[in-house]
Chain A
Amino acid sequence: MFALAWRNIWRQSRRSMITILAMACGAAVCMPMMSFMDGMFATMFDVAVTQQAGHVRVEHPDYPVTNSMFDTMEDAQKKLEALEALPDASAVTWRAYGAGLLGTDTKSMGAVLVGVDPVRESRVTPTETMLKEGAWLTQPGQILLGFGLADELNASIGGEVVIMTQASDGSIGAGTYTVVGLVRSGNAMRDNQGAWLNLTDLQELLFIENQVHELVLLASGGRDQVDTLKADVVAAVDESVVVRTWYEADPQMAEMLKMGQQQSNIMLVVVFFLAGFGVLNTMLMSVFERTRELGVMMALGTRPREVIRLILMEGFLLSVMGVVLGGLLGGGLVYLICVHGVDLGYGDFEMSGVVFPSRMRGLFHINHATSVFVSMMVISILAALWPAWRASKLEPVEAMRAD
């Protein structure tokens, strides 16, 4: 049966080749496309969620709206300890925020001050990817500047900057800090206005000792486990704070990621349908051409069920060949996208506050290959069903009379 199907395919080798190539091209386009788009979504997720929102976040109920320095949490230390004990949390950190005037000898600018706990923060934020130059914070008196802000101020690593701000008691808070690194976070606003310093330094500057604005957690199970983690966190903290998942905190980003996913799904469906119609066309044609031959086979005692199996086998073989060829082509392209990236030629570009590097890298995931393979094969077999059914319904006598 297999041999027969194989031979049948190559009887019209040009037509079969074209079908195989069409499927291969479909797969070869789909795989890199999925890889590329996932790479883009991963960048967005990383900038918006991993670096900022966290999977789950805890804040003073008013803070998300007011962003006021005064809306800090009570008993932050106790809460932090309780959250660090949660088995579902892989990392926990705390942060305080402020705004101030940041200056060098020659220039000054308004800056967003982010107070981070260097050790805990580095477990939550991928510091190596966030740092453009220099080193992460290690001790008090150090500061990291967004590279845009540093440019604007003519500040460089090793230099000193001054912060002047309004402290929580109404007095003027001021301090001098040494620049140890430049940050390229991917968030345009932060890269141009952000300054990261030790949590304790910021607390002292703002006169908010032992107070923080947010606790941020990552789920040990990854982003699919945020709801479980949220439930744990809610149980672990009191009611003086509000607990939100990243998608509750940043519904716009969540919506965008969802929309992007849908778009790529729609694209996949279109490509698959094209492949499916290719198979359908090929099989219909070959059944039609072989009416007489099939009639002879059935007259000689081949049962309709066997005819169906033969035609399906042919469709299946076509799709296997298409998928293998497509997998090789697509895999090669995915490799290039992941390792070398794609230069879109715009330079760095910004989309909803996220700065993408001009050379975008794809993301490899085995799902890209398997989903393409499985759906192509399923579609091909489905597409072969109708011709197969038609063939099985042939009346041998009638069929043998056909030309």
Chain B
Amino acid sequence: MVKHRPMGFKFALLTILCAVATPAFAAEPTIEELLNATDDVNRGESSQSTIEMQVKTKRYERSMTMKAWSRGEEDSLIRILSPAKDAGTTTLKVGDDMWNYIPKIDRTMKIPPGMMSGSWMGSHFSNDDLVKSNRLADEFDYKKESFVDGVYTIVCTAKADAAVVWGKVIVKVRADKIPVEVAYYDEDGELARKMTFSDVKDFDGRKVPATMLLVPADRPDEFTRITTTELDFDVQFDARTFSLQALKE
């Protein structure tokens, strides 16, 4: 069985890169709408952003700034701006494929399937997290558990035939469709990792949580934090923005 992770980094990144254009006081949203808003917010949208990624593990601590472009959920390009040692290193994602460009050796390498579960840029996200595009509402049975202080808690249980890594995902999302927290549980029901969203800001006229924190449950001292500093929507891309040539620029 091919396992992949629904709603990983991609979801998170997209949530940040492209916010939901939702009126604050719309009619009460359905659960499906909330879930789709959580992992499917930007379909058909284009964005350009500057983000900071901070990674802390037992072994190292590093901080990077990156510039990212994305078009829909299919295509994205992420380039490291700093530190100098990694500057220019670029990841291109087109559909389910992924390439890394390393300026030091001036080479582009496609990530083979066997290495998709490896860490992306030393963070707690895997390459798969960036690439896979499963949707909660499709792969999981979901149920509203509570609605307290304007926050919905939705329990998603993997469907029997779903080829997903997680057994259960608990999503906390505000009534205005801004996610608050997503907790991932493995097939044995153990908490595997938790992602929290905070620092809701206005970018280009939309409300977006600017900070996202991922903490692996078995290593509570470690984390990957992604902070959005700039974000623009409805950017025009030309045909070669998401091409192998663009990787090297």
Contact = CB atoms under 8 A, between A and B. Distances in A.
A164 interface: yes
Contacts of A67: none
Given A164-B100, A171-B62, A110 B107 contact: no
A103 interface: yes
A110 B60 contact: no
A206 to B, nearest CB: 12
Contacts, number: 57
Contact of B100 (A109, A110, A168, A172): A172
Contact of A169 (B62, B112, B114): B62
Nearest to B120: A166
- Most chain A CB within a 10 A radius of its CB, from B89, B119, B122: B122
Contact of B122 (A109, A162, A164, A170): A170
- Most chain A CB within a 10 A radius of its CB, from B55, B83, B102: B102
Given A110-B115, A170-B55, A170-B62, A164 B109 contact: yes
A175 interface: yes
Contact of A101 (B55, B86, B112, B122): B112
Interface in B102-140: 102, 104-105, 107, 109-112, 114-115, 118-119, 121-122
Interface in A164-193: 164, 166, 168-172, 174-176
- Most chain A CB within a 10 A radius of its CB, from B86, B102, B107, B122: B107
Interface string A55-87: 000000000000000100000000000000000
B240 interface: no
A52 interface: no
A172 B121 contact: yes
A169 B62 CA distance: 8
Contacts of A168: 59-60
A45 B40 CA distance: 56
Given A101-B115, A109-B112, A162-B107, A171 B102 contact: no
B89 A108 contact: no
B57 interface: yes
A101 B109 contact: yes
A194 to B, nearest CB: 15
B112 A170 contact: no
Interface residues of B, number: 24
A168 B55 CA distance: 13
A175 B86 CA distance: 13
Nearest to A165: B118
B105 A171 contact: no
A174 B121 CA distance: 13
Contacts of B55: 170
Given A108-B112, A110-B115, A162-B107, A172 B60 contact: no
A103 B110 CA distance: 9
Interface string A136-168: 000000000000000000000000001010101
A70 B57 CA distance: 12
For the side of the interface on A, what is the size category? 10 to 19
Contact of B102 (A110, A169, A174): A174
Contacts of B86: 171-172
B109 A171 contact: no
Nearest to B57: A170
Contacts of A164: 100, 102, 107, 109
Contact of A172 (B57, B102, B111, B112): B102
- Most chain A CB within a 10 A radius of its CB, from B62, B86, B89, B115: B115
Contacts of B104: 174
Nearest to A170: B122
Contacts of A166: 118-119, 122
Contacts of B110: 103, 108
A103 B121 CA distance: 18
B226 to A, nearest CB: 15
A164 B60 CA distance: 19
Nearest to B59: A70
Contacts of A109: 112, 114
Contacts of A172: 86, 89, 100, 102, 121-122
A394 to B, nearest CB: 81
A298 B119 CA distance: 94
Given A101-B109, A108-B110, A169 B115 contact: no
Contacts of B119: 166
A110 B114 contact: yes
Contacts of A110: 112, 114-115
Interface in B3-39: none
A169 B105 contact: no
Contacts of A169: 60, 62
Interface string B74-90: 00000000010110010
Given A103-B109, A162-B102, 6 more contacts: A110-B112, A169-B62, A170-B57, A170-B59, A172-B122, A174-B107
21 contacts: A101-B109, A101-B115, A103-B109, A103-B110, A108-B112, A110-B114, A162-B102, A162-B107, A162-B109, A164-B102, A164-B109, A166-B119, A168-B60, A169-B62, A170-B55, A170-B57, A170-B62, A170-B121, A171-B62, A171-B86, A172-B121
Question: Which 6 A-B pairs have CB atoms at the shortest separation, nearest pair first?
Answer: A170-B122, A174-B102, A170-B60, A170-B62, A108-B109, A162-B107
Interface of A: 70, 101, 103, 108-110, 162, 164, 166, 168-172, 174-176
